[in-house]
Amino acid sequence: MAVTDLEMIDAWKQVLQLSKLQPGQALSILTDPDTNLQTLKTAIIAAQSLGASVTRIDLPPHNGAVSLSPDKTAFVGETALTGNKAALAALKSSDIVLDLMLLLFSPEQGEILKEGAKILLAVEPPEVLLRMLPTVADREAVVAAARLLERAKTMRVTSGAGTDIELPLGDYPILQEYGFVDEPGRWDHWPSGFVATWPKDDKSQGRIVLDRGDIWTPRLDFVSSPIELTVKDGYVTRIDGGLDAELLREYIATFSDPDAYAISHVGWGLQKRAQWTALAMYNRQSTMGMDARSFAGNFLFSLGPNNEVGGRNNSHCHIDIPMRKCTVALDGVEVVKAGNLVDR
Within a domain: 199: yes
Strand partners, 319: 303
* Orientation angle between helical segments 5-18 and 37-49, nearest 10 degrees: 60
Give the model's pLDDT for residue 299: 98
CA–CA distance, 88 with 109 (Å, rounded to integer): 9
Give the model's pLDDT for residue 47: 98
| Domain identity same for 146 and 269 | yes
Within a domain: 14: yes
Contact 198, 168 (CB under 8 A): no
Within a domain: 128: no
Least Cα distance to 209 among 221, 191, 223, 219 occurs for 223
| Domain identity same for 66 and 142 | no
Contact 279, 285 (CB under 8 A): no
The torsion angles phi and psi of 270, rounded to 5 degrees, stand at: -130, -5
| Domain identity same for 186 and 260 | yes
Give the model's pLDDT for residue 76: 74
Q: What element of type H or E holds 25?
A: none
Which pLDDT tens digits describe the chain residue by residue (344 residues)? Answer: 789 999 999 999 999 999 999 999 999 999 999 999 999 999 999 999 999 999 999 998 877 777 777 776 777 778 889 999 999 999 999 999 999 999 988 889 999 999 999 999 999 999 999 999 999 999 999 999 999 999 999 999 999 999 999 999 999 999 999 999 999 999 999 999 999 999 999 999 999 999 999 999 999 999 999 999 999 999 999 999 999 999 999 999 999 999 999 999 999 999 999 999 999 988 777 888 999 999 999 999 999 999 889 899 999 999 999 999 999 999 999 999 999 999 87
| Domain identity same for 149 and 104 | no
Contact 82, 160 (CB under 8 A): no
Residue 106 is part of a domain; what is its CATH number? 3.40.50.2300
| Domain identity same for 119 and 156 | no
CA–CA distance, 28 with 229 (Å, rounded to integer): 42
Within a domain: 326: yes
Give the model's pLDDT for residue 284: 75
Q: How many Cα atoms are found within 13 Å in the side-chain-facing hemisphere of 286?
A: 12
Query: Where does residue 33 rank: exposed (0-12), middle (13-18), buried (19+ CB within 10 A)?
Result: exposed
Give the model's pLDDT for residue 274: 97
- Within 105-161, residue ranges assigned H as helices are 107-114, 126-131, 136-151
Domain boundary among 100, 123, 146: 123
Domain boundary among 88, 123, 158: 123
CA–CA distance, 30 with 27 (Å, rounded to integer): 10
| Domain identity same for 187 and 101 | no
| Domain identity same for 313 and 189 | yes
Within a domain: 270: yes
Q: How many Cα atoms are found within 13 Å in the side-chain-facing hemisphere of 99?
A: 30
To 10 degrees, the CA torsion angle through 84, 88, 91, 93?
Answer: -140
Task: List pLDDT tens digits, range 246-278.
Answer: 999 999 999 999 999 999 999 999 999 999 999
Domain count, the chain: 2
Domain boundary among 64, 95, 123: 123
Give the model's pLDDT for residue 104: 83
Confirm whether pTM is higher than 0.85. yes
| Domain identity same for 165 and 301 | yes
- Residue 117 domain boundaries: 5-123
Within a domain: 36: yes
Give the model's pLDDT for residue 181: 98
Within a domain: 130: no
| Domain identity same for 203 and 337 | yes
| Domain identity same for 314 and 177 | yes
CA–CA distance, 308 with 297 (Å, rounded to integer): 25
Residue 6 to residues 3, 12, 132, 243, Cα–Cα distance (Å):
8, 10, 17, 45
Residue 247 to residues 113, 253, 303, 310, 311, Cα–Cα distance (Å):
36, 10, 15, 30, 28
| Domain identity same for 205 and 75 | no
| Domain identity same for 163 and 300 | yes
Within a domain: 154: yes
